[in-house]
Structure 1
Amino acid sequence: MRNASLSFSRAFHAAVAAFFTLFLLAPAAASAQDDAPGKVAIMVGGITKLIYLPVYLTEQLGYFKAEGLDVELLSQTAGVDAENELLAGAVQGVVGFYDHTIVLQSKGKEVKSIVVLGQVPGEVEMVSARAADSIKSMADVRGKTLGVTGLGSSTNFLTQYLARLEGVPNSQYTVLPVGADNSFIAAIRQGRIDAGMTTEPTVSQLLKSGDARILVDMRNVEGTRAALGGTYPASSLYVQSAWLDTHPREAAKLARAFVRTLQYLHTHSAEEIAARMPKNFIGNDKALYVSALKASLPMFTVDGRMPADGPRTVLKVLSGFNPSVKGRHVDLSRTFTNQFVDEVKP
């Protein structure tokens, strides 16, 4: 009986000791977990496009790692595909056009932009050299085939809006998804499209080769206001609102990393920025890439904040033709937040 009591006493004291050991170690373990890099997957709607330059540049500059983040960058040719990956939970964030947040809210999906990279679309409507004599403006696209990156993409939204402004409904022309970069260039050269919307450096490549000319230029604030009537926040980092509610620390870290990159873009030359990019982004003509980059730099925000008139302009564009948005109430305050970029110290 005495031996049994002794065994129980020893077991009891051992259990108490183990409890206090775990109790004392718990704060240290929690601290170590807090300091561990957070794994975040970000899908980009075409990572080689200059409109999304800040994404890869942030990685190259080491700003993700400086924030203790383990970021995996993925790429889709069209923003609508990236959006689907986000909704499926395959990625935590998307760098794509802000307008997706409005469309998704109208469909009952809560998505929020937390960093605005581009205050304008950076998109250019290019007309094929062979069709340039018959297409002088968007009023001339009746009966023509217009290229976009993908159906449901931002290029599709903007193409329809610009045509409608000139009195041409979408029933009077054909929209063809042709992707971006080399596939867009091939579509122009092969005559599969008469005109189409694309970005740099594809714009500069087509201009240099003489295969296409500029019809509508939205690479800067002036051109965008002339085309759309206001600034049009475009490339941005957006996440599901439910993820944001449970991961504010990761959101703050991502915001700091991207704002640092935006500041870098506005304090370094195009040549210095290009030197940070990989060969497959630049292509075989570095001088052309640098020229395209110089033309693109005005599109980027300095601080990641949403332009004051931006959300209203985007809603106006979408309400003009998009059946998911037209006639519906959209709470713009739920589509973006400046909270995290405002916390970044200059």
Structure 2
Amino acid sequence: MHSSRVFIYSAGLALAMATSSLGATAAQAADKISIMVGGYEKQIYLPAKLAEALGYFKDEDLDVELLNEPAGVDAENEMLSGAVQGVVGFYDHCIDLQGKGKFVESVVQFSQAPGEVELVSSKHPEIKSPADFKGKNLGVTGLGSSTNFLTQYLAVKNGLKLGEFTSVPVGAGQTFIAAIQQDAIQAGMTTEPTISRMLKTGEAKVLIDMRTMAGTKAVLGGTYPAASLYMDADWVNAHKEEVQKLANAFVKTLHFINTHSASEIADKMPSDFYVGDKEGYVKALENGKAMFTPDGVMPEDGPKTVLAVLSEFSKNVQGKTVDLSKTYTTEFVMKAK
């Protein structure tokens, strides 16, 4: 799958070594790494844009291109096709993909809680729990996305069958808000800053809150590692030096998040991420930044929780043996520390 990309990389490296006058330029070109982010304005994926803003990629002599893709499942497909080398998305894709025979691993674990909330439209007070999802249209970022996984889990856990509700791909941000306003969805799963925007206008209320560790454990039964940098395992093994540099940059970023205020972090982000409400953005980040790991290390009990959640509804993992040790690695983050 990635043999052509690896060949191109090797050829570039050989050319760099052979042509001394062009050596530096060619080496830099060979080092370019494209990472697809499942919506980089979402606070759950904040480490990607923050690492760039802090200059940590450049500090590692990396040429990193961050690409934006609102739904994590589409970002995953871009990586599988070889169009990008990594994805900033949810760890659960690593388990789901192994069920399909593809080996992908989280190399830096950003968070230990999903940072997601199930919002219910204020027009639908009859929805008091996921048991009331029957016959409803439920917003998710994309079909096959982590928001869809979690939505299916909540419904099945509360007695529904998968065909008794409809998952509607509405993305995040303005498209999600419009879907609620137009009653195209009656409830939906989303992240900050969309959550705060909808609560502020009163157009939606919180049904299930997975922004904190305590809330996540109550709903999902344990620590739920979510946002991560995940990559094709073969690519990781063939490019350990580059992966180590990425881990160095992201572990430094997580340390920055852990040692700075929400206001200081927000100041480093592009102003359009605030969506016209910096105060609301900072407050949401203040309430949610404890979801980030301090060091990029996978929480020990996390993978088992994610597998248990997916096993409730996913035909990709039901009845299959998943080797959790192959869905993540701590090799690079431990060296970065």
How high is the TM-score relative to the length of structure 1? 0.89
* Counterpart for residue 56 of structure 1: 49
In 2, Cα distance between equivalents of 1:144 and 1:336: 35
* CA shift for structure 1 position 27: 12
* Counterpart for residue 6 of structure 2: none
In 1, Cα distance between equivalents of 2:137 and 2:250: 37
Q: Does 1:129 align with 2:122?
A: yes
* Counterpart for residue 69 of structure 1: 62
Q: Greater shift after overlay, 267-276 or 34-43?
A: 34-43
* CA shift for structure 1 position 33: 8.3
In 2, Cα distance between equivalents of 1:302 and 1:27: 42
* CA shift for structure 1 position 129: 0.5
* Counterpart for residue 182 of structure 2: 190
In 1, Cα distance between equivalents of 2:302 and 2:146: 15
Q: Does 1:273 align with 2:265?
A: yes
In 2, Cα distance between equivalents of 1:109 and 1:26: 36
In 2, Cα distance between equivalents of 1:324 and 1:30: 48
How well do the aligned residues superpose, as a CA RMSD in angstroms? 1.7
2:253 to 258, 261, 276: 261
**Are the equivalent residues in 2 in contact too, given 1:265–1:297 (CA < 8 A)?**
yes
How high is the TM-score relative to the length of structure 2? 0.92
* CA shift for structure 1 position 43: 0.2
Alignment of 1:31-42 (within 5 A): 36=28, 38-42=31-35
* Counterpart for residue 6 of structure 1: none
Q: Does 1:235 align with 2:227?
A: yes
Structure with larger Rg: 1
* Counterpart for residue 109 of structure 2: 116
In 1, Cα distance between equivalents of 2:233 and 2:167: 32
In 1, Cα distance between equivalents of 2:28 and 2:334: 25
Q: What SS does the corresponding residue of 1:216 show, helix, strand or coil?
A: strand
From the superposition, tell whether residues 331 and 29 of structure 1 become closer, same or farther in structure 2 (CA, over 3 Å). farther
List alignment gaps of at least 5 residues for structure 2: 1-16
List alignment gaps of at least 5 residues for structure 1: 1-24
- The one-letter code sitting in structure 2 at the alignment partner of 1:56 is K
In 2, Cα distance between equivalents of 1:274 and 1:126: 24
Cα deviations by residue, 1:230-282 (Å, 9 ceiling, x for unpaired): 01111100111111111000000000100100010011111111111112111
* Counterpart for residue 95 of structure 1: 88
- The one-letter code sitting in structure 1 at the alignment partner of 2:42 is K
**Are the equivalent residues in 1 in contact too, given 2:45–2:88 (CA < 8 A)?**
yes
* Counterpart for residue 303 of structure 1: 295
Q: What SS does the corresponding residue of 2:336 show, helix, strand or coil?
A: coil
Q: What SS does the corresponding residue of 1:326 show, helix, strand or coil?
A: coil
Identity %: 59
Q: Does 1:343 align with 2:308?
A: no
* Counterpart for residue 99 of structure 2: 106
**Are the equivalent residues in 2 in contact too, given 1:41–1:92 (CA < 8 A)?**
yes
- The one-letter code sitting in structure 2 at the alignment partner of 1:304 is G
